[in-house]
Homo-oligomer: A and B are copies of this chain.
Amino acid sequence: MKTVYFTPGPAELYPSTIKHFQNGFKSHIASLSHRSKVFQEIFQEATSDLKKLLSIPDEYFIFFTGSGTEAIERTIQNCVEKTSFHFVNGSFSNRFYKTAQELNKKPLFYEAVLGEGFSFQEITIPKEAELICFTHNESSTGVMIPFEEIKNITKKYPDKLFALDIVSSVPYGNIDYSLLDVVFFSVQKGFGLPAGMGVMIVSPRAIKKAEAIMQKGISIGSYHNFPTLVDFAKKNLTPETPPVLELYVFSKVIKEMIAVGIGNMHQQTERKAKILYDFLDSSDTLSAFVQDPRFRSQTIIVADIQKVKGDIKKKLAEKGIIVGSGYGVNKETQIRIANFPTHSIVDIKRLIKALNSL
């Protein structure tokens, strides 16, 4: 019996991930100098193909970090002199806010009830906010902000910078990158790689902001400040020794996703999410935590456990189905189900069957 991981990340690997690791080992990619031409080709391929897959403007830069969490820190350091503004609706958006505090900024925030969306039209963003921070998909509660809402805000505040955490939504989501300044994710979720690398998509405006902060004598970090990252990225290099093999595998997976087509992946994700929510809406044992269909995540589906005898995770694991626990205080009362490109319709149907038999 094949085991399938529906955990929110680290998650089920993309079907070809292990094969690419094996090929990478065979080709000595793991021993390759990160200052070699072959490395530069890998970097070039990964970044240009990522831009192609996600329709990222040419003039944007792609940077690599150790994790999505590092990307949060670098975003604040490089784009905020004093004040950022955060839409907070769970643990991950809250971490974005807290990080700004830890870096001695004066962040402001608007908080939504857990499991609910924001009433965007009622929110006024203070003048002093330099960077507005969104978490596209709040993995802790399964709330996804429709990109149209984010778009409206970027239009309303044309002089501000915008950061978007797409850690657990990418490659899903019709994101218009040209409206945003820093967008970041990590590879162990929708891309189905082992954890160990974050990716940042950064606008020329954000680079200018980082330079301006630095010129004021405020530290924007060392090896991973934006100007340094730009200098290296222009040569298809990284300041530090990056996870070379992981980057190689990432470039291979992106190429396959381009072949599948982002539109097809998008449709598939929504189709699978609909099957899951339809099940939850008709089930007696489980129910969807997020009520408002406009804010229901398509990639991390959070379910309240209504009436299940015994340990639900253990019972599912016996059938080869691994789901995530609820997050934080909801650890025991909820489960979280990832719906990533690696999960096929067949996998989802098998999951539903297992959930039905609880």
Residues of chain A touching chain B, judged by Cβ–Cβ distance below 8 Å, are 3, 5, 7, 9-13, 17-18, 21-22, 25, 28, 30-35, 65-70, 72-73, 76, 95, 98-99, 102-104, 186, 188, 193-197, 217-219, 221-225, 239-246, 322, 324-325
The reply to whether B7 and A33 contact each other, CB–CB distance below 8 Å, is yes
Using CB atoms, name the residue of chain B closest to A196.
Answer: B243
Indicate which residue in B30, B32, B73 contacts A221 across the interface (CB closer than 8 Å). Answer: B73
Closest Cβ of chain B: how far from A139's Cβ, in Å?
11
Using CB atoms, name the residue of chain B closest to A73.
Answer: B222
**With A28-B3, A31-B5 known to touch, is A66 a contact of B240 (CB < 8 Å)?**
yes
Using CB atoms, name the residue of chain B closest to A99.
Answer: B222
The reply to whether A244 and B99 contact each other, CB–CB distance below 8 Å, is no
| Other contacts beyond A22-B22, A196-B243, A243-B243: 4, CB < 8 A | A69-B241, A102-B221, A103-B221, A194-B245
Interfacial chain B residues near A3, Cβ < 8 Å: 28
Indicate which residue in B66, B103, B195, B244 contacts A194 across the interface (CB closer than 8 Å). Answer: B244
The reply to whether A186 and B241 contact each other, CB–CB distance below 8 Å, is yes
Interfacial chain B residues near A95, Cβ < 8 Å: 223
Interfacial chain B residues near A98, Cβ < 8 Å: 222
Interfacial chain B residues near A34, Cβ < 8 Å: 10, 195
A243 to B25 alpha-carbon distance, docked (Å): 17
Interfacial chain B residues near A243, Cβ < 8 Å: 194-197, 243, 246
Closest Cβ of chain B: how far from A228's Cβ, in Å?
8
Closest Cβ of chain B: how far from A317's Cβ, in Å?
11
A225 to B239 alpha-carbon distance, docked (Å): 21
A-B contact pairs, 17 of them (CB 8 A): A5-B28, A9-B241, A10-B30, A10-B244, A11-B31, A18-B25, A65-B66, A67-B242, A69-B239, A69-B241, A70-B70, A70-B240, A102-B225, A103-B219, A104-B218, A104-B219, A186-B241
Interfacial chain B residues near A195, Cβ < 8 Å: 30, 34, 241-245
**With A10-B30, A223-B73, A225-B102 known to touch, is A240 a contact of B21 (CB < 8 Å)?**
no
A34 to B193 alpha-carbon distance, docked (Å): 14
Interfacial chain B residues near A104, Cβ < 8 Å: 217-219
Closest Cβ of chain B: how far from A224's Cβ, in Å?
8
Q: Which of A11, A35, A66, A225 has the most CB of B within 10 A?
A: A66
Interfacial chain B residues near A69, Cβ < 8 Å: 223, 239-241
Using CB atoms, name the residue of chain B closest to A240.
Answer: B69
Using CB atoms, name the residue of chain B closest to A246.
Answer: B196
Interfacial chain B residues near A28, Cβ < 8 Å: 3, 5
